């Protein structure tokens, strides 16, 4: 009996299939940019392979800070991905004194 109760209580802990819903691929540059064009090709192929829609969402501006902050604060469940260049993670820490995200700690 105790074993059955343990299994029922642990049921939510069992891994679920990934992905089970749409994935968002965030691009920190405007639609039509080079990064956007590559992201759309990647999103298309990734969607075919995972059999789930992959939506490209452009969040341009502030040297990629808007998009990076958005992704850094997103739920870390694998459904929000970031397609960026060196701007957000290599250049910005040296160019901007107070970033609203940590390019090392906030991303995996």
- Residues 73-103: b if buried by 16+ CB within 10 A, e if exposed: eeeeeebbbbbbbebbbeebeeeeeebebeb
Q: Is 53 a member of any domain?
A: yes
Cα distance between residue 53 and residue 48, in whole Å:
8
Q: Is 65 a member of any domain?
A: yes
pTM flag (> 0.75): yes
Provide φ and ψ at 79, rounded to 5°: -100, -5
* CATH code of 47's domain: 3.40.190.150
**Percent above pLDDT 70 for the chain:** 86
Q: What is the pLDDT of residue 16?
A: 77
> How many domains is the chain built from?
1
Cα distance between residue 91 and residue 66, in whole Å:
15
Q: What is the pLDDT of residue 28?
A: 98
Distance of CA 64 to the CA centre of its chain: 14
Q: Is 29 a member of any domain?
A: yes
pLDDT by residue (tens digit) across 22-45? 999 999 999 999 999 999 999 999
């Amino acid at each position: 009996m105790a074993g059955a109760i343990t299994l029922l209580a642990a049921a939510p802990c069992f891994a679920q299939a990934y992905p089970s819903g749409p994935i968002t691929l965030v691009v920190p540059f405007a639609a039509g940019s080079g990064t956007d064009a590559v992201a759309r090709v990647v999103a298309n192929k990734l969607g075919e392979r995972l059999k789930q829609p992959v939506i490209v969402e452009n969040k341009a501006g502030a040297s990629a800070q808007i998009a990076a902050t958005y992704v850094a604060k997103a739920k870390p469940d694998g459904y929000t991905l970031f397609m960026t260049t060196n701007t957000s993670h290599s250049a910005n820490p040296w160019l901007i004194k107070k970033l609203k995200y940590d390019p090392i700690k906030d991303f995996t």
